[in-house]
Amino acid sequence: MTHWDYIVVGGGVMGSATAYQLARRGERVLLLEQFAIGHMRGSSHGHSRIIRYSYETPGYVQLMRAAYQAWADAEQDASTQLVHVVGGLDVGDPETPSLQACYASLRANGIACEWLDQRALAERFPQFLLSESMVGLYQADAGILPASQCVATLLVQARRYGADVRENVAVQQIKADGDGVAVQTTQETYLADRIVITAGSWAQALLRDLGLDLPLKVTREQVVFFAPRRPELFAPDRFPIFISYGATEREGSVFNFYGFPIFGLAGIKVAQHHAGLVIQPDDDNTAPEPAATRRVQAYVEQMLPDAAGEVLHAETCRYTSTPDMDFILDCHPVYPQIIVGSPCSGHGFKFGALVGHILADLAQGGMTKHAIAPFTLRRFGV
């Protein structure tokens, strides 16, 4: 049986960033991914993810400072641009609690932002056909992470520093073995000093075997690309990433729709947040739902009429959510050699580069300087 210092389970953004950090720190790392890297069944593939400071909880805003820095370091190390700043706009009714809370937590953290009243919003972003009462919160540093390119870059860097990245190897069982772990896979059994589980929507089964029964929900979400009728209005220098808080907030959903300017070869991308069907982790269906596409189309027709051209493409991706929508970044309560990093409740990508540092810290020394107290396993009573 081969022995490794560290094994990382999963080659999504969290596992790739962790393997990269551990390898960069000189550790011997094996990353195991059950499918081909970049596959379409997980959470980290695709055209783009939003990066932004704007969060309701001040703690996330604070972590985003470190996350922006971690992406900048990765960019410098790889000589590749990953963060594309285009500005970000939160829009909604001025009384919307989420909008108010984002404004308050940006200000509490000293992040420059602008509160746009209805007139200023209409003048600055005439692409939106907003109701009279709507206002905006603009933050200039928000932008786009090209998701698949980010994962590929992190893995190239992990390999450059010596990590062994193996595709199409599924971890079937993890057992504590003294101070280390024994990891049974579809190919062979490995021994390691430490293991980091960043298995996204598949984490639940692996963790259940380790005595952790977590209340995780997996949903299949969908994004839709449109060819705008007036593409010049949706270029990244004129149109920001946006999050639109709707009336449904009172019915329990945090925000409604979000979208991107034209970026790369695609049209504009728009999606509904937390609107997907609950699925089982082993569900291999990745086909978009026509009804979900129509809901997004109706939103675009109503709110962004100049963008409501042909639907170019729709694709799916998974959220794995905790009941409180916060992350899990912690050591196993009984076996400290087992570290859990995920799931990220549909908003984790922007933290990916930082999560790599945090999980590498936990794996190496059981602690980190970053403020991860809200992300414990203990909060689930395990």
Span from 32-40, 55-63, 66-74, 361-369 in contact with ligand FAD (CB under 6 A): 32-40
Q: Does 225 bind ligand FAD (CB under 6 A)?
A: no
Residue 210: closest CA among 377, 19, 324, 379: 377
Separation of alpha carbons 83 and 61, rounded Å: 17
8-state DSSP, 344: -
| Paired sense of beta strands 88-92 and 241-244, if any | parallel
Asked if residue 138 binds ligand FAD (CB under 6 A), the reply is no
142 is an interface residue for ligand FAD by CB under 6 A: no
154 binds ligand FAD (CB under 6 A): no
Which parts of 270-299 interact with ligand FAD (CB under 6 A)? 271
Amino acid code (one letter) for 130: L
Shortest approach of ligand FAD to residue 249 CB, angstroms?
A: 18
Q: Which class for 59: exposed (0-12), middle (13-18), buried (19 or more C-beta within 10 A)? A: middle
Smallest distance, ligand FAD to C-beta of residue 174, A: 9
Half-sphere exposure of 361 (CA within 13 A, CB side): 14
Measured distance CA(267)–CA(309) in Å, rounded? 10
**Contact pattern for ligand FAD over residues 12 through 31, marking x by CB under 6 A:** xxxx----------------
Output 120 or 152, the one with its CB closest to ligand FAD. Answer: 152
**According to CB under 6 A, which one of 20, 53, 319, 375 is a site residue for ligand FAD?**
319
Task: Report the alpha-carbon distance of residue 229 to residue 159 in Å, rounded.
Answer: 43
* Residue 125 token pair: 């972003």
CB closer to ligand FAD out of 235 and 325:
325
Cα separations in angstroms, 361 against 212, 256, 354, 372: 22, 35, 11, 12
- The correct pick among 348, 353, 359, 361 for binding ligand FAD (CB under 6 A) is 348
Binding site for ligand FAD (CB under 6 A): 9-15, 32-35, 42-44, 49-50, 170-171, 198-202, 206, 221, 223, 271, 317-319, 342-344, 346-350
